[in-house]
Structure 1
Amino acid sequence: MRPIEALLEIARDEGVTRIFGNPGTTELPLMDALVEAPDLPYVLGLQEASVVAMADGYARASHRTSMVSLHVAAGVANGLIGMLNALRSRTPMVIVAGQQDRRHLLQDPMLSGDLVGLASAATKQAVEVRHAYDLPIALRRAFALAARPPAGPVLVSVPMDLLEEDTEVEVPARSPVTGPGAAEAGAAAALLARAERPVVIAGDGVGRAGAVADLVAVAERLGAAVHHQPMNDGIDFPTGHPLYAGMLAPRNAVIRETLAAYDAALIVGCHAFMPHHYTPGPAVPDGLAIVQVDEDPAEIGRNFAVRHGLTGDLAGTLRALAGHLDGRVPSARERAKRLGAGHARARHDVDAAARAAYGPSPLDPRAAAHAVAAGLPEGAIVVEEAITIGLRLRAVLRQDRPGSYVHTVGGGLGWGIGAAVGTRMAARGRPVVAVLGDGCAMFGVQGLWSAARYEVPVAFVVMNNGEYRTLKDTLDEGGGASAKHGRYIGMDLAPPALDWPSAARLFGVDAVRAGSADELRDAVAGAKDLSAPLLIEAPVTGHGEGS
């Protein structure tokens, strides 16, 4: 078959059900071929960052490698932020980027560039295909590498004339791969069983591996408090479980202080601790006995020494660990009861403070976060890209169903709108509520057009405080000139104020503005009945105006 036919055949065989992209001249052979490939619908985005974000959300919700088509050097450059997010969040993705025609590539034609060089730092691997007969092998390798732990994006640069060749190429069969089995967990279980104050750190690898129930079984047999890793990307432990103690803060000093209360830690599927703001010293206190479990052997002992490092299938290893622990920790039930009572009191206090802050707009951030959580329909998925409100939202969400919370630890802004569109396309039947900061949303606002074009019923909640509040908060903590004078350079988005209902309507999306916390809660609750996208603007108090 011809190269373009091979590309489409491999995509089908690898489980691709749609291609996300924004086309240019170098993609014309693909676009022409898709006319006769109705089983591979093309999802159009207006800008490449939104395109890659849609593919990210789709891959996570569908549990399949997604496929993206980008246009030459400029398109790859625009998509880099999405690739960085996918790399850090370990989202499997294959990006096919169109390169200029090889017959004049040496002349530095318009649009050409070093696509491999551009993408190398933001992908697991980037390659350029030079010969038609190499294309099928390169694509098979890309799909295999993208899905192999640690998963991530892989870019394949394909010159446009290569796809147009009338050359017969052979398509290699797909090679099923069996992953590693469970690690031997006996010695690790013995260490944890002896601990008097054990703690569990649930990393995002747990959720990706479908091992949440297995980790719950281990924690219950230990009677251990459970923390999510800093800025967790998903539900790796049920946040309504009595043993759940909240997310670790993304600072080494705070993590160290938290972990100092324990004598043994089980760290599962966690990419180190990925601190955000620098604080001196390590994340792990001296004397803490650590058992680390991961699918990626490179993670074991990467940033801290461990007593036992277990590499293997996460679900299988956790089941083995639970089996070894069964009945070996007599104090587990009493510990769990004590921890559960303390956690329940803390949650009650947080909820009570948030409810007390309810009132008219602009909303107190605590009330805004609580109203969203209170209004979520049954089975809803939250896609969150709201930096300051996002932290408050994490404190009041009670989500037990894996896949119900989606975030990116990559930190590349503009991801949330596109990710929510891709999530809803894959998770049909489940309401999707995107919680977005106004600053974050401005980086990816073009994604609203795709939501409208494909009638994707997402509720986009934009928390509008008219500023980059997290930057102001950080400067205040430092006590510098900005805090002293109450003046912040380059951190205000008003005046003029961002009019989000008008912005939504520009892209064909209906919009409402919440006049109170109760109105916000009710608008979010209506997400279950949406047949098209809706933007909900939630005016929130700015810096110094509320809690």
Structure 2
Amino acid sequence: MKPIDAVLHILREEGVDRVFGNPGTTELPLIDALAGVSDMDYMLAVHELTAVSMADGYARATRRPSFVNLHVAAGVANGLLGMLDALRSRTPMVITAGQQDRRHLVQDPMLSGDLVGLATPAVKHAVEVQHARDLPVLLRRAFALARTPPEGPVFLSIPMDLLAEETEVDVLGRSTLHGPGVATGIGEAAEVLAAARRPAIVAGDAVGRDGVIEELTELAEALGATVYHQPMFDGVDFPGTHPLSAGMLPPTNVGIRTALAAHDLVFVVGCHAFMPHHYTPGPAVPEGTTVVQLDTDQAEIGRNFAVRAGLVGALGPTLTALTDTVGRVPDAASRLEAARVLTETARADVDAEALAAYGDSPLDPLAAAHAIAAGLPVDAVVVEEAITVGLKLRRVLRPARPRSYVHTVGGGLGWGIGAAIGTRLGAPDRPVVAVLGDGCTMFGIQGLWSAARYNVPVAFVVMNNGEYRTLKETLDNVGGTAARLRRYPGLDLAPPTVDWTAAGKFFGIAATKVTSAKELRDTIAGVGELAGPLLVDVPIRSHAVEHGYGGGS
């Protein structure tokens, strides 16, 4: 089998039915080979960040590694943001890039470069294929590494001439991988958990990725434990409607420490070391708090805090074993009832606050978030990349269905549009609503071309406040010169004001501008009937209006 035929053979066996990418001359052997097949589509993006982000959303929706094809050094550089997001969010994918022909690499030809050096900081592993005979082995290895905990992107640089060789190569068969089993130390950990008087659980994103929400819920109910989502969580890791759900931990050490201070024990499950955003002094875990930790990744155990019992093993079977061993603690029922009273009151208060702010545009940010949450069809998926409104959305959106919320903790802006396209392609039976900041949309606007090209029925909801509001609010919190003078150099997107409906139509996408919170809610309620992409412009009150000053940069 020739090298290019071996590539297609392996992709099929690994479950790849779509290639996401932006090709160039070094990818022509792959493009030529794909022209002769009907079971694998090339999903074209006009920017590499979009290609990687589409693959990110697709991998999460299908729960199998996706495949990306980039072009030489420039393409890898453009795709780095998406790779960083995938690495942080632990999304399994294999990324290839065509290297220049090896026969003239010594001359430093145009577009050549150290592809492995470029990609290495943004992926789990990176390697350049040197011999045609090694290509099947390295491609199989890449897929295996991508889906081995901790999952993530793996990169292969493939020289153009190698892919075009007529050499016969042996194709390595697909290996069956069995993950870790039940962790050891169940008895000790169960004893510590059962002895807690005020237990808390931190549900990390591995819970949602591994599909073990039900197992975690059963343990939480057996303990009567308050459950927090990890800071800036990427998916549904615990039912947002459950009375034990206390919402998201704040993304700072002091915020986490304050929230956890009410508990004598914290059980951290599948969480990457809390990952705070802004620096605040002191540790995340309060002094004297007992910590039990469970993860599939040995490196996570005790990474940033001391643990009384550290468990390494498959999350689902280990959680079930813990529940069976703990039984049901005597105070579980009373703890559950107390939590129910607190959560119902807190949720009613925030809903009332949001509803009181309903009105005409420009909309109050909390009201806009509430209108989206209230309008969502029950089976919808929210892909969120809206920095300030996104935080408010987390207060009012209480997703219970697995994989109904998608975010990236990676922080590489421009991810949302591509991720929403990939999510809908991977889950074609579920409506998808992308909630996007206007700044984030600017970073990834080329993705609208792919949405139009493939007529992907996604509602792209742009929260349009005309500014980098999160940075203004951060400056306000530290009380610097900008806050005193109410001047924020470089943080305004208006003027000129972007006409987002015109931007949507430029790419051939239907677009509308809402005039009230009620209209936004009704628009979102209809997304299940979309036959193609829709861009929704949502004018949001600016920082200047909210704080009563003239604004300007």
1:445-477: CA deviations, max 9, x gaps? 011111111110000100000000000000000
Task: Note the C-alpha offset of 1:324.
Answer: 1.1
SS in structure 2 of the partner of residue 359 of structure 1: coil
Letter in 2 for 1:418: G
Query: Is it true that 1:491 corresponds to 2:491 in the alignment?
Result: yes
Structure 1 stretches of 4+ with a deviation exceeding 3 A read none
CA distance in 2 between partners of 1:179 and 1:418 (Å)? 30
Task: Note the C-alpha offset of 1:130.
Answer: 1.1
Contact 1:456 1:532 in 2 (8 A): yes
1:364-423: CA deviations, max 9, x gaps? 001000000000012000000000000100110121111000000000000000000000
Aligned residue number for residue 448 of structure 1: 448
Letter in 2 for 1:177: L
Contact 1:128 1:158 in 2 (8 A): yes
CA distance in 1 between partners of 2:99 and 2:163 (Å)? 10
- Alignment RMSD (CA, Å): 0.7
CA distance in 2 between partners of 1:195 and 1:187 (Å)? 13
Aligned residue number for residue 14 of structure 1: 14
CA distance in 2 between partners of 1:350 and 1:371 (Å)? 13
CA distance in 2 between partners of 1:57 and 1:511 (Å)? 23
Task: Note the C-alpha offset of 1:498.
Answer: 1.1
CA distance in 2 between partners of 1:544 and 1:256 (Å)? 32
SS in structure 1 of the partner of residue 544 of structure 2: coil
Aligned residue number for residue 43 of structure 1: 43
Aligned residue number for residue 385 of structure 1: 385
CA distance in 1 between partners of 2:400 and 2:112 (Å)? 48
Aligned residue number for residue 551 of structure 2: none
Contact 1:98 1:159 in 2 (8 A): yes
SS in structure 1 of the partner of residue 496 of structure 2: coil
CA distance in 2 between partners of 1:121 and 1:207 (Å)? 26
Task: Note the C-alpha offset of 1:112.
Answer: 0.2
Query: Is it true that 1:416 corresponds to 2:416 in the alignment?
Result: yes
Task: Note the C-alpha offset of 1:546.
Answer: 2.9
CA distance in 2 between partners of 1:62 and 1:537 (Å)? 29
Corresponding residue pairs, total: 546
Query: Is it true that 1:305 corresponds to 2:306 in the alignment?
Result: yes
Contact 1:189 1:321 in 2 (8 A): yes
Counterpart mapping for 1:319-330 below 5 A: 319-327=320-328, 329-330=329-330
SS in structure 2 of the partner of residue 544 of structure 1: helix
Contact 1:84 1:123 in 2 (8 A): yes
Query: Is it true that 1:361 corresponds to 2:350 in the alignment?
Result: no
SS in structure 2 of the partner of residue 545 of structure 1: helix
CA distance in 2 between partners of 1:378 and 1:290 (Å)? 36
Aligned residue number for residue 462 of structure 1: 462
Query: Is it true that 1:93 corresponds to 2:101 in the alignment?
Result: no
Task: Note the C-alpha offset of 1:320.
Answer: 0.5
Query: Is it true that 1:546 corresponds to 2:540 in the alignment?
Result: no
Letter in 2 for 1:199: A
Letter in 2 for 1:125: H
Contact 1:365 1:546 in 2 (8 A): no
Letter in 2 for 1:94: V
1:278-335: CA deviations, max 9, x gaps? 00111011111111000000000000000000000000000111111223x1110001
Aligned residue number for residue 482 of structure 1: 482
1:337-373: CA deviations, max 9, x gaps? 0011101100000000000000000000010000000
CA distance in 2 between partners of 1:178 and 1:125 (Å)? 21
CA distance in 1 between partners of 2:104 and 2:74 (Å)? 18
SS in structure 2 of the partner of residue 546 of structure 1: helix
Aligned residue number for residue 251 of structure 2: 250
Which runs of 5 or more residues in structure 2 are unaligned?
A: 548-553
Aligned residue number for residue 550 of structure 2: none
CA distance in 1 between partners of 2:327 and 2:15 (Å)? 39
Task: Note the C-alpha offset of 1:544.
Answer: 3.3
SS in structure 2 of the partner of residue 68 of structure 1: strand
1:63-85: CA deviations, max 9, x gaps? 01000000000000000000000
Contact 1:364 1:540 in 2 (8 A): yes
Aligned residue number for residue 132 of structure 1: 132
Letter in 2 for 1:217: E
Task: Note the C-alpha offset of 1:520.
Answer: 0.5
1:33-84: CA deviations, max 9, x gaps? 0011111100000100000000000000000100000000000000000000
Letter in 1 for 2:296: E
CA distance in 2 between partners of 1:433 and 1:95 (Å)? 27
Counterpart mapping for 1:230-309 below 5 A: 230-309=231-310
CA distance in 1 between partners of 2:156 and 2:37 (Å)? 21
1:414-451: CA deviations, max 9, x gaps? 00000000000000110000000000111000111111
Letter in 1 for 2:281: P
CA distance in 2 between partners of 1:518 and 1:110 (Å)? 54
1:248-304: CA deviations, max 9, x gaps? 010001111111110001100000010100001110111111110000000000000
Percent identity over the alignment is 65
SS in structure 2 of the partner of residue 519 of structure 1: helix
Contact 1:116 1:126 in 2 (8 A): yes
Aligned residue number for residue 68 of structure 2: 68
Task: Note the C-alpha offset of 1:183.
Answer: 1.0
CA distance in 1 between partners of 2:319 and 2:545 (Å)? 47
Q: Give the TM-score, by structure 1 length.
A: 0.99
Aligned residue number for residue 201 of structure 2: 200
SS in structure 2 of the partner of residue 238 of structure 1: coil
